[in-house]
Amino acid sequence: METDGLIIWKKVLNYLKENENSSYINTFFSDKASYMHEFYNNTLFIKCENPFVLEHIKQNIKKINSIIKNELNINNVTVQPILEDSEIKKIINPPVKNSDNILAKYTFDSFVIGNSNKFAHAVCVSVAEHPSFEVTKDAHNPLFLYGGVGLGKTHLMHAIANRLKEKNSNYKIAYVTSEKFTNELINSIKEKNNEEFRKKYRSLDVLLIDDIQFIEGKEATQEEFFHTFNELHSNNKQIIISSDRPPQELITLEDRLRSRFESGVPIDIQAPDFETRVAILKKKCEIDQRDISDDVLILIAKNIKSNIRELEGSLNKVWSYSKIMQTPITYDMATEVLKDMLKNKETKELTIDYIKQVVAKEFNIKIDDLSSKARPKNIAYPRQIAMYIARELTDLSLPKIGEEFGGRDHTTVMHACDKIKDDIEKKTDKIDIKIDKIIAILKD
């Protein structure tokens, strides 16, 4: 006998078959791709055979729910795609959340070491083995990790926490993003339980706070974190912080906080080199038990240079395509699947020289004028625009941008960025349109 859930799902499939082509149905909604697994609490749990199908149904969830409600006239029933049976159990019987937010999968053993991160790794291992409250001198406290997105900062932070928990399960450890810290602070103020919030963070043995750059400009958060930092540091508790840039470049952060970050151990993590990227992909295949040839891994590693998340995402895309299309993973297949990504990587890398060239042409001035000491408005303003665009479209630091524009100070670059940003918001002299045009040319 068919259940209510199965009847509803069959109606959805019939509607899709009438309105979509057969190739689309076979790829995403055939019995081999997805099927109704369980109906619980007015939710249709649709089991997907691979991440490719799962992601597609997630992206079209509003459309499917709309079909159920508006086309089939069935109210209060929604679809939830899943990959594993365990996901249903988590929804029906949600586990008690680990209050420290530490992810067990991130360990030192699963971290791939290369030239770009070996010093950071060594220092993090040292902190895990000898946290500040266990040593009398040479403590790395605070430990400040900085670098671009997806380079392993978060992985190392969790690895430290996991190693410390192995040593002593009684250590009070908490990992939190700066955004979560801010939201908890706001809620504590709203609910008038500030003391409970303070006790939570100021009684820790180890505090790990990720993406600290997001508290820039948030005065109340900075004030609270300043006192939390002082309380922990004065009691010799371990503090570990991450950011997308070094402390001295957190320009809008209060001086007293920035100076405390600088007083510890700032450690830079760079993008992985080619050999490390290949090693990361091999480690990923080993963990996920995937058999992929070296030529495919080398193809991905040669073309994805920016960060580890994008690197692993490309590998997952190839793997998912292989499963859904039931085709072996070969060099030619990977090239075809990743062709859009490979095409993007072949485009011209955006440099300061190219930005200068396009801006100078747009404002009918000489390229050298942008680096000169000349200060007439017809030169100074385009120079500010070029600095703003460099900050928005490249990973260069403020001091480096200043250096590229005639050795100017980083505060000059910051002022230029703030001014142009303000002019864009106010649409001064339609500058927003002109800058959009310049950016379009640069990205073309």
Beta pairing, strands 34-40 & 43-48: antiparallel
- DSSP symbol at 247: G
User: At 222, phi and psi to the nearest 5?
Assistant: -60, -40
For 421, the token pair is: 């940003």
Q: Is 153 annotated as a binding residue?
A: yes
DSSP calls for 357-400? HHHHHHHT--GGGGGSS---HHHHHHHHHHHHHHHHHS---HHH
Rounded to whole angstroms, the Cα distance separating 346 from 306 reads 14
Q: Is the peptide bond before 81 cis (omega within 30 degrees of 0)?
A: no
Neighbours of 377 (CB within 10 A): 7
Q: Is 152 annotated as a binding residue?
A: yes
What is Dmax (Cα atoms) for the chain? 84
- Neighbouring residues of 161: CB distance < 8 A, sequence distance ≥ 6: 100, 102, 173, 175, 206, 208
Distances (CA, A) of 186 to 151, 181, 192, 398: 30, 9, 10, 31
Give the three-class secondary structure for 168. coil
Q: Is 154 annotated as a binding residue?
A: yes
For 440, the token pair is: 């379009």
Rounded to whole angstroms, the Cα distance separating 385 from 398 reads 14
Q: Is 402 annotated as a binding residue?
A: no
Rounded to whole angstroms, the Cα distance separating 338 from 4 reads 41
Dihedral angle at the C-alpha atoms of 123, 124, 126, 129, nearest 10 degrees? 180
Contact 339, 333 (CB under 8 A): no
Rounded to whole angstroms, the Cα distance separating 219 from 148 reads 25
User: At 39, phi and psi to the nearest 5?
Assistant: -120, 110
- DSSP symbol at 212: G
- Binding site per annotation, positions: 150, 152-154
- Binding site per annotation, positions for ATP: 150, 152-154
